[in-house]
C-alpha cells in the first residue's frame, strides 16, 4: 500500500522531552530487536537516512512517530550508491548532532551500522530495478539505484518495519522503492511525506550545506523554475517542451549547470510530449558545491 502523508509539525529538539533512545550498530542486533518487538505485537515505523539531518528528515520521523508503536531511524552513508567520481568522502556527517535530533524527534531505536557490517568484503548479491532507473538520476548516475535498492532491501530485512516513510523530494527514488517493495513482496507499506522547503522555496537537502553563499542564493532557481512551469500548466499549457523551456530560462540566469530537466509520466517515468495525465517534472542542477534535485507533479 502506498500512502501520502502531509502532516508536519516542526520539532524543536531543544524543547523536546528527554527520552531513552537506544543506538544499535550491527545488523544482527537490530534484527533481533525488531523480531522481539514484532513478537510483542508492536508496530514498527522506519525512516532510513544518510544522516546530516534537517527538518525534512524530522518531518518524516514525525509521521512515523504518529503512526507506530516504535520508531526506528537509520543513519548510513551507503558507499554502493556513489560512483568513484562522486562525493562519498565529502558527504556531510555529524553523528553527535544527528543523535540529538533523532532523540528530540521521538526515535526509539537508532540503527547506525558501519559499511563493513552492511557490505561484507566478499558480498556478491545485488538488487537491481530495470524499468524506472534508466532515466533522470538513473541515467545521470549509472549504478546508483542498484546500490539504493540493495541497501534498502537489506534494511527492510534487518529492521522488519510495518511501514517505511520516504520523502517526495527524491521522486525517482520513491517510485523505485515502491516498485522494489511491490515486486519482491516485502510486507511493508510505503508512506510518503511532502518536500520540506526553506523560506525561499529551496528544497531542504543535506547537500545544501556545501553551497557557497552566492550559490545558495542562486539555488532557489530550481523552485522558481518549477513554480513557473506550474503557472504555465495552470494557464492551459500542455506542451512538455514549452514547460521545460520556461524552467530552463530561469536556471540559465544563474551559475548552475543543468544536468537534466525532464517531464515524465508519473508512473512509468518515461518522457511525455504532452501532459495529458499526471506527470512528474524532475530536474537536477549542478553547482560547484553540490548537485541539487527538485520536482513537482502536474495534473494530480
> Residue 258 is part of a domain; what is its CATH number?
3.30.1300.10
CB contact at 8 A, 112 and 21: no
- pLDDT confidence of residue 11: 47
Q: Residue 199 falls within a domain, yes or no?
A: no
> What is the 3-class SS of 252-281, one letter each residue?
CCCCCEEEEEEEEECCCCCECCECCCCEEE
Query: For residues 11 and 289, which has the higher predicted lDDT (pLDDT)?
Result: 289
Beta strands in 117-182 (DSSP E): 163-167
- Grid-cell match 562522486, residue found: 86
Residue 159 inside a domain? The answer is yes
User: Quick one: pLDDT band at residue 6, thresholds 50, 70, 90?
Assistant: low
- The residue among 166, 193, 220 that closes a domain is 193
At 203-222, the pLDDT tens digits run: 999 999 999 999 999 999 99
pLDDT digits (tens, 9 = 90+) for 167-195: 999 999 999 999 999 999 999 999 999 99
Work out whether strand 257-265 and strand 22-24 pair parallel, antiparallel, or are unpaired.
Answer: unpaired
Is residue 1 scored above 70 in pLDDT?
A: no
For the chain, report the end-to-end CA distance as a whole number of angstroms. Answer: 18
Catalytic status, residue 57? yes
Q: Is the pLDDT of residue 10 over 80?
A: no
Q: What is the pLDDT of residues 50-106, one digit of tens each?
A: 999 999 999 999 999 999 999 999 999 999 999 887 778 888 899 999 999 999 999
Among 57, 62, 65, 144, the one annotated catalytic: 57
Q: Say yes or no: 174 and 227 in one domain.
A: no
Total of domains in the chain: 2
The residue segments making up the domain with residue 177 are 2-193
Residue 114: the pLDDT is 97
Has residue 12 got a pLDDT over 60? no
Amino acid at each position: 500500500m502506498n500512502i501520502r502523508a502531509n502532516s508536519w509539525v516542526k520539532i524543536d529538539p531543544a524543547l523536546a522531552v528527554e527520552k531513552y533512545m537506544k543506538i544499535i550498530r550491527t545488523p544482527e542486533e537490530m534484527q533481533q530487536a525488531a523480531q522481539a518487538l514484532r513478537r510483542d505485537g508492536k508496530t514498527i515505523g522506519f525512516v532510513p537516512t544518510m544522516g546530516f539531518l534537517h527538518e525534512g528528515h524530522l518531518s518524516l520521523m514525525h509521521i512515523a512517530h504518529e503512526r507506530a508503536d516504535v520508531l526506528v531511524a537509520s543513519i548510513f552513508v551507503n558507499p554502493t550508491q556513489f560512483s568513484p567520481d562522486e562525493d562519498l568522502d565529502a558527504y556531510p556527517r555529524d553523528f553527535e548532532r544527528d543523535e540529538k535530533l533523532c532523540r528530540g524527534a521521538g526515535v526509539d531505536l537508532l540503527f547506525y551500522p558501519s559499511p563493513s557490517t552492511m557490505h561484507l568484503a566478499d558480498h556478491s548479491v545485488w538488487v537491481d530495478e530495470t524499468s524506472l532507473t534508466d532515466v533522470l538520476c538513473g541515467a545521470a548516475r549509472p549504478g546508483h539505484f542498484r546500490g539504493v535498492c540493495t541497501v534498502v532491501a537489506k534494511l527492510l530485512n534487518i529492521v522488519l518495519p510495518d511501514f517505511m516513510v520516504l520523502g517526495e523530494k527524491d521522486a525517482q527514488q520513491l517510485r523505485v522503492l515502491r516498485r522494489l517493495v511491490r515486486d519482491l513482496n516485502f510486507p511493508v507499506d510505503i508512506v510518503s511525506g511532502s518536500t520540506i522547503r526553506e523560506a525561499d522555496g529551496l528544497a531542504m537537502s543535506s547537500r545544501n550545506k556545501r553551497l557557497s553563499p552566492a550559490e545558495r542564493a542562486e539555488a532557489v532557481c530550481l523552485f522558481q523554475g518549477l513554480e513557473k512551469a506550474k503557472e504555465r500548466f495552470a494557464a492551459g499549457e500542455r506542451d512538455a517542451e514549452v514547460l521545460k523551456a520556461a524552467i530552463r530560462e530561469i536556471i540559465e540566469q544563474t551559475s548552475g549547470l543543468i544536468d537534466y530537466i525532464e517531464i515524465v509520466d508519473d508512473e512509468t517515468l518515461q518522457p511525455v510530449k504532452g501532459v495529458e495525465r499526471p506527470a512528474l517534472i524532475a530536474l537536477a542542477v549542478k553547482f560547484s558545491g553540490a548537485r541539487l534535485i527538485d520536482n513537482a507533479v502536474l495534473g494530480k
